[in-house]
A and B are shown apart, each in its own frame.
Chain A
């Protein structure tokens, strides 16, 4: 990010930026940077809080009035803690008992496909309520995305339905789409939980999908294909969940 500031400013454009990692801005020395004490992924601080976002934005824009630089200023406010739910979340779907044999790969695959169908119902409600979805970078619908991920579990290498992407890239995009499906659904349910740590724990700890991702990491990490190994070992499971075990 800081590098982009240098490149654009050299071309005659004045830049100001938000900085999430102060240590990087200290090294790169962009012309104007506002460091914010927010978590990665939330540079404006708080979703659906226009007043808070406006204060962050104006603080970054005000740096354009500085007479000389580089300028690195700290935003003085913390983002308010957003947890509103007491106790751990449960996955809000009901799977038939015979399909919850998660100890076998085929059982896990079946349970996952069922879970996605049911989660998609919640997701449609979420999309209606929010008027938008971020689902869709993979170009696959939810059941296609789920079948692609599940195919790896049972040793099937599915045909790649997208000719402009490698299968490994498509798996990565499908994995983020599935997470978006679940997260958008759960964050519009009554209770209004929005803090990212609880949501991540819920996905990887309470949902069959989380178990599928952990199993996929194992399977893809052993692939002879370098890109598949990279996606499996580093791009499926966040570091915060890395020590979680399959079937824990």
Chain B
């Protein structure tokens, strides 16, 4: 359903015209096989731990989600009102599939999961987000992570 033609016209037009960052080329890192990977998840759904500071602007900041976070620990403060939240309200895994990732790890499909996952708020100016992303990358590498799954909303 996230085909632009299926969205309300005004929203579809906004999304088509949303400025996207442009890159001269695409960087490429060859990951280890998944069964040997340590993986972190990053969401842009504006998720954060209950009691953490909500997302209220477009400054590119991020929030930390501990690897052992339970579904009831997380709330969402993305500012957009133009995406469905009712699915997230029924099942965290719809936007951040922590249970599915844990199952794949128990099964040996993925070697291990990061000690911390991260959350940004999408629709943010990429310039400040780049600085925050570099900081997150440093933290992920410090945790031994080599592979990242990114999930939009």
CB within 8 Å of B: which residues of A?
1-24, 27-31, 36-48, 50, 53-54, 57-58, 60-61, 64-65, 68-70, 79, 130-139, 164-166, 169, 172-173, 176, 179-180, 183-184, 187, 194, 196, 199, 234-240, 242
Partner pick for A238 among B14, B42, B82, B94, CB 8 A cutoff: B82
Chain A residues whose CB sits within 8 angstroms of the CB of B120 once the complex forms: 4
Partner pick for B150 among A15, A29, A184, A187, CB 8 A cutoff: A15
A37 to chain B, nearest CB (A): 6
Q: When the two chains form their complex, are residues B23 and A28 in contact, meaning their CB atoms are under 8 A apart?
A: yes
Chain A residues whose CB sits within 8 angstroms of the CB of B126 once the complex forms: 3
A196 to chain B, nearest CB (A): 4
Q: When the two chains form their complex, are residues A44 and B94 in contact, meaning their CB atoms are under 8 A apart?
A: yes
Q: When the two chains form their complex, are residues B94 and A46 in contact, meaning their CB atoms are under 8 A apart?
A: yes
A12 with B29, Cβ < 8 A, contacts A180-B89, A184-B89 known: yes
Q: When the two chains form their complex, are residues B10 and A239 in contact, meaning their CB atoms are under 8 A apart?
A: yes
Task: Name the CB-closest residue of B to A55.
Answer: B100
Q: When the two chains form their complex, are residues A11 and B138 in contact, meaning their CB atoms are under 8 A apart?
A: yes
A6 with B44, Cβ < 8 A, contacts A12-B137, A46-B94, A236-B81 known: no
Q: When the two chains form their complex, are residues B76 and A169 in contact, meaning their CB atoms are under 8 A apart?
A: no
Chain B residues whose CB sits within 8 angstroms of the CB of A239 once the complex forms: 8, 10-11, 14, 82
- Chain B stretch 86-134: residues in CB contact (< 8 A) with chain A: 86-95, 97, 99-101, 103-104, 109-110, 120, 122, 126, 129-130, 133-134
A244 to chain B, nearest CB (A): 12
